[in-house]
Amino acid sequence: MKVPVSPYLQIDGMVYFRRMLDKARLFAAGELREDLRSNLGKAMDAWTCEFFGVSYPELSTRLRVEGTSDADLLEWCFSEGKRPTDQEIKVWNAYMTKIGWRDYLSERLFSRKSESGFADRDDIQTMFDYIDADEGRAPGDALTIN
């Protein structure tokens, strides 16, 4: 079983979108790690689709049927939903990369860290950091990759 790319990995300056698509592709191929399957189209996936004003089921169907690239799917989101401004992308990235840090998901992050044996890991401050650590990456390593 495989894990998708880091949520920090960007496309056109946007975080998380590539991860959402990678999860959907791995799931369609029967290769997505079991514990990641139940959240497909929910939480961060749903928020990402809502940000663009598109439907996750429609996006994932388009991905599976047409097998289009990440860039093509992003363009589809822009045309079917909305194209965010540079400022909206900055706000989106700031929000997404800080989820779990002193907010409504802080308790959930603490629980996940404890369940995974990461309670003593001070380098895990956000849900993105937790995802990276849980999937065997150093938190934030993908920050320098676009």
Domain for residue 89, yes or no?
no
Confidence of residue 146 (pLDDT cuts 50, 70, 90): very low
Specify if 146 maps to a domain.
no
Residue 41 placed within a domain: yes
* pLDDT tens readout for residues 84-111: 999 999 999 999 999 999 999 999 999 9
Minimum mean pLDDT among 17-21, 83-87, 108-112, 141-145: which range? 141-145
CA 31 to chain centre: 17
d(CA 10, CA 64): 21
Residue 86 exposed, middle or buried by CB count within 10 Å (0-12, 13-18, 19+): exposed
pLDDT score, position 141: 77
- 105, 46: one domain: no
The mean pLDDT of 114-130, rounded to a whole number, is 96
Q: What is the pLDDT of residue 143?
A: 66
Q: Domain containing 34: what range?
A: 1-83
The whole model's pTM is what? 0.93
Distance CA 103, CA 61 (A): 33
Same domain, 16 and 72: yes
The whole-chain average pLDDT of the chain stands at 94
Give mean pLDDT, residues 6-20.
Answer: 96
Q: Is residue 107 part of a domain?
A: yes
Other C-beta atoms lying within 10 Å of the C-beta of residue 61? 12
Domain count, the chain: 2
Residues 6+ apart with CB under 8 A from 37: 27
Per-residue pLDDT tens for 41-73?
Answer: 999 999 999 999 999 999 999 998 887 899 999
Q: What tokens appear for 124 in the block?
A: 């895990």
- Residue 36 pLDDT more than 70? yes
pLDDT given for residue 144 in this prediction: 53
Q: Residue 42, CB half-sphere, CA atoms under 13 Å: how many?
A: 5
